[in-house]
Chains A and B, each alone.
Chain A
Amino acid sequence: MERQLYTISIYTENNIGLLTRISTVFLKRHYNIESLNVSATEIDNVHRFTIVTFISTDEAVKLITQLEKQIEVIKAYYHKEDEVIYHQTSLFKIKSNLLFEEKEIQNIIKHSSSRIVTINKEFFAIEKSGREQEIKELYDQLLPYGIMQFVKSGRVSVSKTEMEITKLLKSIKN
């Protein structure tokens, strides 16, 4: 079956060691994790892992059941690319002198909808949020000028349809 990018959203308890447990579910099936983000959610004491992986639909269905089998996983969901709204954020650290010596850099920043978050004598930092491709484009444009550091976050996403986690937790309590 054809593989594609899936965004896996896993709602969990906030416990030590859960990252290892979840990643072993991927490792056991030899699925690479393309991107990973762990954060708090709209629900107290519930955390969310957002993992992007390249798998088939059949594999995604089975992956969810294996993830939900883990004791501290409350619920897991899978979504195709067109079923989620997603973003990544990135930071570029660049030498400050380039901002004055290479005028084009200012245009690049302006046209890429990125913003300068800090500037000092040695370096300045640009923050760019968006889809993978937009970040990649900015990276390609800045690369010839020299990038001191570049870092990109894992994907964060919200699904277009509802993930009924709050309702589920309420029903468990009752």
Chain B
Amino acid sequence: MEKLEVLEKKEVKKETISGAEAVVKCLLNEGIDLVYGYPGGAIMPVYDEFYKRKDEFTHIMTRHEQGAIHAAQGMARATGNVGVVIATSGPGATNLVTGIADAQIDSTPLVCITGQVGAHLLGTDAFQETDIISISTPVTKWNYQITDAKEIPEVLAKAFYIAKSGRPGVVLIDITKNAQFDKLDFEYKKCNHIRSYVPVPKYDLSKIKEAAELINNAKKPFIIMGQGVILAKAEQYFKEFIEKTGIPTSQTALGLSGLETNHRLNVGMVGMHGHYAPNKKTNECDVLIAIGMRFDDRVTGNLSKYATQAKVIHLDIDPAEISKNVKADVGVLGDIKETLPLLTDYVKAKEHKVWLQQFKDLYKEEYKEVIKDQLSPSKKGLTMGESLEAINKYTKGDAIIVSDVGQHQMFACRYAKFNKTRSNITSGGLGTMGFALPAAIGAKVGMPNREVVAVIGDGGYQMTIQELGTIFQHKMAVKIVVLNNSFLGMVRQWQELFFDKRYASTEMVNPDFQTIAKGYDIACNKVSKREDLDKSVKAMLDHDGAYFLEIIIEKEDNVFPMVPTGASVSDIRLK
């Protein structure tokens, strides 16, 4: 055997190339022909290789490294592929950190490549030297510093394998400048095994049977679907499972669009600003089936009062998630793509008509108290709900909605309609304002044939507004909707409800966003009257190319329902 391997190795013709060229060849070997980034001193050799390979490789230069990484995230979320971002050392690397933390907490597969000062300068506080390995350690799945060109192929192969396998995450590879210049004998082998890493734990059939037994005997079962279903590309298996069992199904914010909004068993979103019925029913169900979700505090509210009456079944790929927050009576470890079809085999076909009807009845209550006034407002000013409804009307639920963070995000999650998976891209775990504009760029680049609508608040928009430059330069057909209420709306809402309306630093004096859009040669419009809303949304979507639509929103509107911090999910407030 050994001899054979030696022979095979000899046959592979090794070529001697620079570390920088090796980086690009590794990327191409991984099927990556497009990266986002920002050049700088310590990464220049790699940029020089990008230049030489302009025909087969695209580099999209954003206006800030944070924009680059959010764009890579948007692309990864929209396509399911690994996003790649590249930056220089020092500030280039530290500017990535918010995006790294954001992608890691939302399980987005990313490979970040940063330049670093030459190995002989490490630890000397050299110009633009920063210890990005230490800085990024708590927020990466894995990171590694390459100081020798010879390490490049093996380490990058490992990086891609780790980023996309198991529960996806972020890998950062820091490459010293000498390693980019130095020569190596290049040979690329994809990585598919690391002895200390078990990406997909083996499932235990007895657990699946145990789960099926609980489900078969349940009178009031309830499902919470998380992004894990989407990450596992198991949407179809999921649908088969719920359709066989007839169980009412809710989603977390990141699980949205994994099941179409109009599915008969879809009862909406759980969590702090989720729908009334699924929150209420969490504390009434007898079996709670959590699939690919992690019981975030925004989902559970007060943990000690969360679903205490229910038997909990938890399906997840990450052993650290089982019983982390909510104790699982049955934890089913493994890839949902494998475990869900097995579970479907073992469960009995059922309908839960009466139980499902109770969800629909509660929805009617929510409609009367909350939704109706959003869609047909009594107030003069426009609402965020009707803005989303106008978008639905013309996208028919086929668009990718990329939302930022705050009130408008919750409105987008609650009111946008989704027909296709991977259509709701938002910063869930980290709650990063400024995420949406660059993430929408990535989503559009990744899915050029789909309509991409960024829905952003006037606060978050100004956190990464410079990325209008990227849209302008690369002629990207991103539709940008800013819901402008001249406030940091979510914080203001909390100030109104919990701080006696002391509006500390939440009122915004905004610039003329129209002039800014015009400066970037982006078609734009502003709407403040109800009668103009539909046609201006239609005009935006009909426009060929990027478009900026500013919708002036009623200033002090609130998102309801709401589970106040520390309250139980069943104490959800309608007003």
Interface residues of A (CB under 8 A from B): 12-13, 16-17, 20-21, 24, 27-28, 62, 65-66, 68-69, 71-74, 169, 172-173
B195 and A172 within 8 A (CB)? yes
The yes or no answer to B7 lying at the interface (CB within 8 A) is no
**A62–B322 Cα gap in the complex (Å)?**
9
Chain A residues whose CB sits within 8 angstroms of the CB of B138 once the complex forms: 24, 27-28
A71 and B137 within 8 A (CB)? no
A20 and B134 within 8 A (CB)? yes
**A68–B198 Cα gap in the complex (Å)?**
9
Total cross-chain contacts (CB, 8 A)? 45
Chain B residues whose CB sits within 8 angstroms of the CB of A17 once the complex forms: 133-134, 137, 143-145
Chain B residues whose CB sits within 8 angstroms of the CB of A28 once the complex forms: 138
Kindly supply a per-residue 1/0 record for chain B positions 318-339, scoring 1 wherever the CB is within 8 Å of any chain A CB and 0 otherwise: 1110111000000000000000
B320 and A71 within 8 A (CB)? no
Chain B residues whose CB sits within 8 angstroms of the CB of A20 once the complex forms: 133-134, 137
Q: Find the residue from B134, B162, B195, B323 having the highest chain A CB count within 10 A.
A: B195
Chain A residues whose CB sits within 8 angstroms of the CB of B145 once the complex forms: 16-17
Partner of A66, one of B143, B144, B196, B320: B320
B195 and A65 within 8 A (CB)? no
Specify the chain B residue showing the minimal Cβ separation from A61.
B323
Specify the chain B residue showing the minimal Cβ separation from A67.
B320
B162 and A71 within 8 A (CB)? yes
**A66–B167 Cα gap in the complex (Å)?**
13
The yes or no answer to B197 lying at the interface (CB within 8 A) is yes
Partner of B319, one of A13, A16, A24, A65: A65
B137 and A72 within 8 A (CB)? no
Chain B residues whose CB sits within 8 angstroms of the CB of A16 once the complex forms: 145
The yes or no answer to B141 lying at the interface (CB within 8 A) is yes
Chain B residues whose CB sits within 8 angstroms of the CB of A172 once the complex forms: 195
B196 and A73 within 8 A (CB)? yes
- The 7 A-B pairs at the shortest CB distance, nearest first, are namely A65-B320, A24-B138, A74-B196, A71-B142, A172-B195, A69-B320, A71-B197
Chain A residues whose CB sits within 8 angstroms of the CB of B322 once the complex forms: 65
Chain A residues whose CB sits within 8 angstroms of the CB of B318 once the complex forms: 69
B141 and A71 within 8 A (CB)? yes
Q: How far is the CB of A86 from chain B (nearest CB, A)?
A: 25
Specify the chain B residue showing the minimal Cβ separation from A24.
B138
Partner of B196, one of A27, A72, A173: A72
Chain B residues whose CB sits within 8 angstroms of the CB of A72 once the complex forms: 142, 196-197
Partner of B194, one of A24, A62, A71: A71
Chain B residues whose CB sits within 8 angstroms of the CB of A68 once the complex forms: 319-320
A173 and B195 within 8 A (CB)? yes
**A170–B138 Cα gap in the complex (Å)?**
30
Known A-B contacts: A71-B194, A72-B197, A74-B196. Give 18 more (CB < 8 A).
A12-B196, A13-B196, A17-B143, A20-B133, A20-B134, A20-B137, A24-B137, A24-B138, A62-B324, A65-B319, A65-B320, A66-B320, A69-B319, A71-B142, A71-B197, A72-B142, A172-B195, A173-B195
**A20–B133 Cα gap in the complex (Å)?**
9
**A128–B138 Cα gap in the complex (Å)?**
37
B324 and A71 within 8 A (CB)? no
Chain B residues whose CB sits within 8 angstroms of the CB of A74 once the complex forms: 195-196
B195 and A169 within 8 A (CB)? yes
13 contacts across the A-B interface (CB closer than 8 A): A13-B196, A17-B145, A62-B320, A66-B320, A69-B319, A71-B142, A71-B194, A71-B197, A72-B142, A72-B196, A74-B195, A169-B195, A172-B195
Chain B residues whose CB sits within 8 angstroms of the CB of A12 once the complex forms: 196
Chain A residues whose CB sits within 8 angstroms of the CB of B320 once the complex forms: 62, 65-66, 68-69
Q: How far is the CB of A101 from chain B (nearest CB, A)?
A: 47
Specify the chain B residue showing the minimal Cβ separation from A58.
B323
A71 and B196 within 8 A (CB)? yes
Q: Find the residue from A16, A20, A69 having the highest chain B CB count within 10 A.
A: A69
Specify the chain B residue showing the minimal Cβ separation from A22.
B137
Interface residues in B367-384 (C-beta closer than 8 Å to A): none
Specify the chain A residue showing the minimal Cβ separation from B194.
A71
Interface residues in B139-183 (C-beta closer than 8 Å to A): 141-145, 162
Kindly supply a per-residue 1/0 record for chain B positions 551-564, scoring 1 wherever the CB is within 8 Å of any chain A CB and 0 otherwise: 00000000000000
Q: How far is the CB of A149 from chain B (nearest CB, A)?
A: 28
A21 and B137 within 8 A (CB)? yes
Specify the chain A residue showing the minimal Cβ separation from B162.
A71
Chain B residues whose CB sits within 8 angstroms of the CB of A62 once the complex forms: 320, 323-324
**A81–B319 Cα gap in the complex (Å)?**
26
**A14–B514 Cα gap in the complex (Å)?**
57
**A65–B318 Cα gap in the complex (Å)?**
9
**A28–B97 Cα gap in the complex (Å)?**
17
Q: Find the residue from A62, A71, A173 having the highest chain B CB count within 10 A.
A: A71
Interface residues in B328-359 (C-beta closer than 8 Å to A): none
Chain B residues whose CB sits within 8 angstroms of the CB of A13 once the complex forms: 196
Chain B residues whose CB sits within 8 angstroms of the CB of A169 once the complex forms: 195
**A55–B261 Cα gap in the complex (Å)?**
44
Q: Find the residue from B145, B162, B320, B322 having the highest chain A CB count within 10 A.
A: B320
Chain A residues whose CB sits within 8 angstroms of the CB of B195 once the complex forms: 74, 169, 172-173
**A13–B162 Cα gap in the complex (Å)?**
16
**A16–B147 Cα gap in the complex (Å)?**
12
Kindly supply a per-residue 1/0 record for chain B positions 216-236, scoring 1 wherever the CB is within 8 Å of any chain A CB and 0 otherwise: 000000000000000000000
